[in-house]
Structure 1
Amino acid sequence: MRLPRFLLAGVLLLAAVFLLTSLFAQPPFHGVGVTAAAVFLPVWCVISVVNARLGVVSAGYRPAEEALVLLPVFGVPAVLAGLGWLASSTLWDGGPVIQTGRAPALFAAGLALWGAILLIAGLLTRKPSPARSAATAAAVLVPLWVLLCLVNLTIGVLAAGYTVAEEIPVFLLNVAVPAAVAVAAWGLARRTAS
Structure 2
Amino acid sequence: MRLPRFLLAGVLLYVSLFVLVALFTAPVGAIAAIVFWPLWYAVATVNAAVGVFAAGYKIGEEAAVMAAVFGIPAAVAGVGWLASARWWAGGPLILSGRTAFVLGAGVLLWAAIRVLSGLLTAKPSGTAALVFMPLWFLFCLANLLVGVIVAGYGVGEEIPILLLNFAVPAAVSVLALRF
Alignment of 1:116-155 (within 5 A): 116-125=112-121, 128=122, 132-155=123-146
Q: Which runs of 5+ in 1 are unaligned?
A: 189-194
CA distance in 2, matches of 1:107, 1:90: 27
Q: Secondary structure at the match of 2:23?
A: helix
Identical pairs, percent: 55
CA shift, 1:124, in A, is 1.0
CA distance in 2, matches of 1:95, 1:159: 19
CA shift, 1:180, in A, is 0.6
CA shift, 1:184, in A, is 1.1
Q: Deviation digits for residues 137-166 of structure 1, max 9, x if unmatched?
A: 111111110000011111111111111100
CA shift, 1:108, in A, is 0.9
CA distance in 1, matches of 2:24, 2:168: 19
Could you tell me which residue of structure 2 aligns to residue 11 of structure 1? 11
Alignment of 1:1-194 (within 5 A): 1-25=1-25, 30-125=26-121, 128=122, 132-188=123-179
AA of the residue aligned to 2:76:
L
CA distance in 2, matches of 1:122, 1:175: 23
Q: Give the alignment's TM-score, normalised by structure 1.
A: 0.91
CA distance in 1, matches of 2:160, 2:91: 28
Count of aligned positions = 179
CA shift, 1:42, in A, is 0.3
Q: Deviation digits for residues 88-112 of structure 1, max 9, x if unmatched?
A: 0110010011001111100111111
AA of the residue aligned to 2:162:
F
Structure 1: which 4+ aligned runs deviate by more than 6 Å?
Answer: none
Q: Which runs of 5+ in 2 are unaligned?
A: none
CA distance in 2, matches of 1:19, 1:123: 24
CA shift, 1:31, in A, is 1.3
Q: Secondary structure at the match of 2:163?
A: helix
CA distance in 1, matches of 2:133, 2:178: 14
Q: Deviation digits for residues 3-44 of structure 1, max 9, x if unmatched?
A: 00000000000011101101122xxxx311110011000000
CA distance in 1, matches of 2:113, 2:133: 11
AA of the residue aligned to 2:107:
L
CA distance in 2, matches of 1:107, 1:72: 30
